[in-house]
């Protein structure tokens, strides 16, 4: 009899409703991802993702940066909470705090982020607005390893989304989000399977260094 594959222990950091968290959990529930979400941690007590996680019996924690004198102190406390769950992978899923270098290095090589742009374009906030104001013809989402440089870690996988006539921030954001729900679970699956790694400052997939991101090829058009 074949022994069951151990589930990868995952901790997810959120600030809002946690739609990417839910997308990953749905794939795990369907048996498509060999992961177990050990805990959900937020910087906001009112984050919708916390109520969802509690309803599923997932451990939750709230750590407000207002209770700490600086980013370094907050990062150390946050790191201790995350480490207490012995995660093999840490996922940022709409966590809206800039992490301290100490925190990032503590989990180096086992922390991923989903960002709503085609990095290196539009690191930081308001990516949809900036793409529209620039007159771009395409936009998208990127999954990358987290390094101390904000949204600057090596990109693993991207999905392009066409910018359509009449798009506003909301319509564009909705189509990008649908692609986030595709590419983030895919990268988590690669990591869980041992196919994806961070080494020598770069992302490696199937033993090959990624000099450019993999493109998903999963673009959707209006109405799909």
Length of the chain: 224
| Spatial distance between the Cα atoms of 143 and 20, rounded to a whole number of angstroms | 12
CA distance linking residue 18 with residue 22, whole number of Å: 6
pLDDT in tens, 54-90: 999 999 999 999 999 999 999 999 999 999 999 999 9
Point out the residues that are catalytic.
Answer: 115
CATH number of 114-224, picked from 3.40.50.170, 3.40.50.300, 3.30.950.10, 2.40.40.20? 3.40.50.170
Distances (CA, A) of 191 to 87, 100, 196: 13, 24, 5
Is the pTM higher than 0.75? The answer reads yes
Which has more pLDDT, 2 or 90?
A: 90
Q: What is the pLDDT of residue 223?
A: 32
pLDDT tier at 52 (50, 70, 90 boundaries)?
A: very high
Mean of the pLDDT values across residues 92-99?
A: 97
Average pLDDT rounded to a whole number, residues 171-179 = 98
| Strand duo 214-215 + 111-115: pairing | unpaired
Instruction: Report pLDDT digits (tens) over 117-161.
Output: 999 999 999 999 999 999 999 999 999 999 999 999 999 999 999
Asked, colleague to colleague, whether 1-107 and 114-224 share their fold, the answer is: yes
Q: Quick one: pLDDT band at residue 218, thresholds 50, 70, 90? A: low
Q: What is the C-alpha to C-alpha distance for residues 176 and 95, in angstroms, rounded to an integer?
A: 17
Task: Output the pLDDT for position 220.
Answer: 43
With H, G, I as helix, E, B as strand and everything else as coil, classify residue 194: coil
Mean pLDDT score of the chain? 95
CATH topology of domain 1-107: Rossmann fold (3.40.50)
49's enclosing H/E stretch is helix 48-55
pLDDT number for residue 3: 58
Confidence band of 219 (pLDDT split at 50, 70, 90)? very low
- Domain map (residue ranges) of the chain: 1-107, 114-224
């Amino acid at each position: 009899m074949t022994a069951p594959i151990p589930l990868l222990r995952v901790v997810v950091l959120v600030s809002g409703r946690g739609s990417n968290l839910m997308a990953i959990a749905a794939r795990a529930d369907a048996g498509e991802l060999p992961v177990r979400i050990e805990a959900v941690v937020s910087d906001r007590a009112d984050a919708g993702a916390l109520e969802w996680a509690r309803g599923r019996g997932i451990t939750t924690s709230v750590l407000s940066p207002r209770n700490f004198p600086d980013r370094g102190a907050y990062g150390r406390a946050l790191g201790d909470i995350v480490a207490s769950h012995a995660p093999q992978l840490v996922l940022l899923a709409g966590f809206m705090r800039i992490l301290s270098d100490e925190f990032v290095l503590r989990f180096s090589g086992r922390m991923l982020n989903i960002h709503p742009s085609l990095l290196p374009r539009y690191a930081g906030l308001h990516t949809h607005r900036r793409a529209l104001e620039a007159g771009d013809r395409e936009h998208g989402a990127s999954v990358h390893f987290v390094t101390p440089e904000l949204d600057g870690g090596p990109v693993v996988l991207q999905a392009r989304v066409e910018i359509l006539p009449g798009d506003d921030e909301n319509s564009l954001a909705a189509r990008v989000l649908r692609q986030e729900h595709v590419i983030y679970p895919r990268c988590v699956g690669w990591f869980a399977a041992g196919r994806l790694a961070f080494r020598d400052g770069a992302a490696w997939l199937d033993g090959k260094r990624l000099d450019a991101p993999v493109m998903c090829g999963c673009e959707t058009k209006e109405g799909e």
